Amino acid sequence: MSVNHILLAIGLCVSAPAFADLVFSSPPRESEAKGKEVYQPVATFLSKITGQPVKYRYPQDWLIYQSEMQRDVYDIVFDGPHFLSWRVANLRHTPLVKLPGALEFVLVVGKDANTIKSLNNLAGRSICAHAPPNLATLTVLYEFTNPARQPILLDTKGFPAALKGVISGKCVAGILQARLHKALDKQRETKVIFKSRPMPNQAFSAGRRITPEMQRKIASALLSPEGQAATAKMREEFKAENFIPAREEEFAGLSDLLKDVWGFQSRVKVSQIDAPSSLQ
């Protein structure tokens, strides 16, 4: 081989493109500093498992999170079952592992609100709840199929605040996580008029740029003792001792809850999505 051929071979090796960074994200439920504290250890662990740089990306607000998800920016995501269901149906994501337990939500009114017996009685009345696309809120709003008979949503930060809003008379009804309602309303000042069906808990999913073999490797790693250590801060935030395997069929149909949320109304063809060249 001539010197020129050797130099050409060396040049090709040096200039060969490296693997693109994988992007890991989660909803902006906390500050950016808190997000990095909770999720950066997970990204570092995923980098080790995949052999590729995994960058934790904090979305500055919910609109950015929704837009980047719809554009298929994220390779690994940890979020609620409705979002995961949409990604499975539209972006070929695969569920990996989830938090144990089921998510159930209740709509409560004051214990003496005798004229409010069902959802039908809340048309035009106020409900204290998180703003959409919060899962608890979407689960209740989904039941109001008539656009002319919708409740009035009062954006309330946190389930305790929603309960306080009902008790104080700020709103007629409030949406809470079922287990928290029992824990928070110790004086039984409210009553339940609607309870959702159980849904799978929050979960990790991986997208199409990660091979099925690597997806299985990531899932196994997250369940390992080393994975438990890497997700310790994260599980502390969600008061969970461990993760358990997630199955795709558990999430089927839950994307329907997003039908009235901007950008989720129509199915996306993955072939029409360009992998982002810049994540700035």
pLDDT for residue 17: 38
Q: Please give the helix or strand (H or E) that residue 221 lies within, else none.
A: helix 212-223
Q: Are residues 119 and 95 in the same domain?
A: no
Query: Which of these ranges, 8-22, 129-143, 206-220, has the smallest mean pLDDT?
Result: 8-22
Rounded Cα distance, 280 and 268, in Å: 23
The values of phi and psi at residue 188, to 5°, are: 55, 55
Number of domains the chain is built from: 2
Boundary (domain end) residue, out of 139, 161, 196: 196
Contact yes or no for 150/93 (Cβ under 8 A): no
Q: Are residues 236 and 265 in the same domain?
A: yes
Task: Kindly state whether residue 280 falls inside one of the protein's structural domains.
Answer: no
| pLDDT classification of 271: cutoffs 50, 70, 90 | very low
Question: What is the average pLDDT across 17-37?
Answer: 88
Residue 253: give the domain boundaries.
Answer: 3-101+200-272
Over residues 147-199, the pLDDT tens digits come to 889 999 999 989 999 999 999 999 999 999 999 999 999 999 999 999 999 99
pLDDT for residue 19: 56
Task: Kindly state whether residue 56 falls inside one of the protein's structural domains.
Answer: yes
Task: Kindly state whether residue 151 falls inside one of the protein's structural domains.
Answer: yes
Rounded Cα distance, 53 and 203, in Å: 21
Task: Kindly state whether residue 145 falls inside one of the protein's structural domains.
Answer: yes
Q: Are residues 66 and 184 in the same domain?
A: no
Q: Please give the helix or strand (H or E) that residue 108 lies within, else none.
A: strand 105-110
Whether the per-residue pLDDT at 1 is higher than 80: the answer is: no
Whether the per-residue pLDDT at 205 is higher than 60: the answer is: yes
Over residues 210-263, the pLDDT tens digits come to 999 999 999 999 999 999 999 999 999 999 999 999 999 999 999 999 998 988
Of 31, 54, 1, 42, the C-alpha closest to 236 is 42
Full-model pTM: 0.86
Boundary (domain end) residue, out of 149, 175, 196: 196
